[in-house]
Amino acid sequence: MDVFTIQDWIFRLISLVLLCVEVWAFVNAVRYRPDAYIAASKRTKGFWAALTGIALFLGVLSILGSSMFILTIAAIVIAGVFLADVLPALRAVMARAQGRYR
């Protein structure tokens, strides 16, 4: 086993972990109601579903062996922005709508 084979397997393992994060972001993007996005002032559901869907597609490409590292980075940044900024806002809006205040 040479160094490049080990490096390839490490990259694929990291890509798999990142793909899981991108799947999590996409599932959450399509799970919430469209009016929750408007109430949270976070663009629209279609915008975030499309963006996280593109991130998911780029993540699948990285698993299949695409060597475009910049696309892998772009995909995880999109998913990270959704999970760190949009998702907490959506959860807060839905908690207020259900009568649970945080």
Comparing C-alpha atoms, which of 70, 48, 47, 49 is closest to residue 58? 70
- Find out whether 87 and 37 touch, Cβ atoms under 8 Å: no
Span 5-22, average pLDDT: 91
Return the pLDDT at 11.
86
d(CA 71, CA 6) in angstroms, rounded, equals: 22
Span 37-60, average pLDDT: 96
Question: Over 60: is that where the pLDDT of 102 sits?
Answer: no
Return the pLDDT at 100.
66
